[in-house]
């Protein structure tokens, strides 16, 4: 029986109003790897059209990301990457550059959000439904990505239940 790889839902989150403090552009060598390898896979596995412009990707300390996007009572909420749900700009935690299959899948997940934003996917949904459908779509694509590369995926929860 194939074991499922379970990733915490809190590993990634879509956000609005990302701030530029403490962020820096992704180093070119990593950016080119993402552009040349991950984006084609994102578009293939999601079947979304190619956006006209490549993603803008920043690096930031994980603590910085968590200080902005975790609730006050959960400063260590697990967020390692965020995508601005208005612009599609991505901010990655510096530790994601370790480039193992799990961290690559987190970057892949954020690129799915970038493609969603640029293709106006789910933008007519109410806030909670937008978030739930966007995350479920990104997690489904991320699971498919992991199946392709490791033979193991994970079950995608029905996040729409949280919108009732």
What pLDDT is recorded for position 57? 95
With respect to residue 18, please indicate whether it lies within any of the assigned structural domains.
Answer: yes
**For strand 90-93 and strand 57-60, is the pairing parallel, antiparallel, or unpaired?**
parallel
With respect to residue 100, please indicate whether it lies within any of the assigned structural domains.
Answer: yes
In the block, tokens 């934003």 appear at 117
What pLDDT is recorded for position 40? 97
Q: CB–CB of 143/108 below 8 Å?
A: no
With respect to residue 121, please indicate whether it lies within any of the assigned structural domains.
Answer: yes
Identify the CA nearest to 35 among candidates 54, 56, 60: 54
DSSP three-state, residue 113 = helix
Phi, psi of 102 (to 5 degrees): -70, -45
Q: Which domain holds residue 149?
A: 9-155
With respect to residue 160, please indicate whether it lies within any of the assigned structural domains.
Answer: no
What pLDDT is recorded for position 2? 29
Q: Report the number of distinct structural domains present in the chain.
A: 1
Q: CB–CB of 58/89 below 8 Å?
A: yes
* 132: its two tokens: 């739930």
What pLDDT is recorded for position 21? 55
Model pLDDT for residues 80-109, shown as the tens digit of each residue: 999 998 999 999 998 888 879 999 999 999
Identify the CA nearest to 96 among candidates 104, 108, 88: 104
What pLDDT is recorded for position 51? 96
What pLDDT is recorded for position 65? 87
Identify the CA nearest to 16 among candidates 111, 96, 125, 127: 127
**pLDDT tens digits in sequence order for the chain, 164 residues long:** 222 232 323 333 333 344 445 789 888 998 998 999 999 999 999 999 999 999 999 999 988 888 877 877 666 788 899 999 899 999 999 888 887 999 999 999 999 999 999 999 999 989 999 999 999 999 999 999 999 999 999 999 999 999 88
What pLDDT is recorded for position 77? 81
What pLDDT is recorded for position 87? 94
Q: CB–CB of 111/55 below 8 Å?
A: yes
Identify the CA nearest to 57 among candidates 93, 103, 15: 93
With respect to residue 161, please indicate whether it lies within any of the assigned structural domains.
Answer: no
With respect to residue 23, please indicate whether it lies within any of the assigned structural domains.
Answer: yes
* 145: its two tokens: 């990505």
């Amino acid at each position: 029986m194939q074991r499922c790889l379970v990733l915490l839902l809190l590993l990634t989150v879509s956000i609005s109003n990302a701030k530029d403090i403490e962020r820096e552009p992704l180093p070119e060598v990593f950016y080119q790897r993402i552009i040349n390898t991950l984006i084609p896979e994102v578009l293939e596995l999601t079947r979304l059209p190619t956006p006209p412009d490549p993603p803008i990707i920043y690096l930031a300390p994980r603590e910085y990301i968590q200080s902005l996007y975790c609730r006050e009572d959960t400063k260590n909420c697990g967020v390692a990457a965020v995508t601005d749900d208005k612009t599609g700009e991505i901010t990655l935690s510096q530790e994601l550059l370790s480039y193992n299959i799990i961290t690559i899948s987190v970057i892949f997940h954020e690129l799915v959000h970038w493609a969603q934003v640029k293709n106006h996917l789910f933008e007519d949904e109410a806030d909670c439904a937008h978030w739930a459908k966007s995350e479920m779509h990104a997690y489904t694509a991320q699971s498919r990505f992991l199946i392709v590369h490791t033979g193991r995926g994970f079950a995608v929860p029905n996040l729409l239940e949280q919108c009732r």
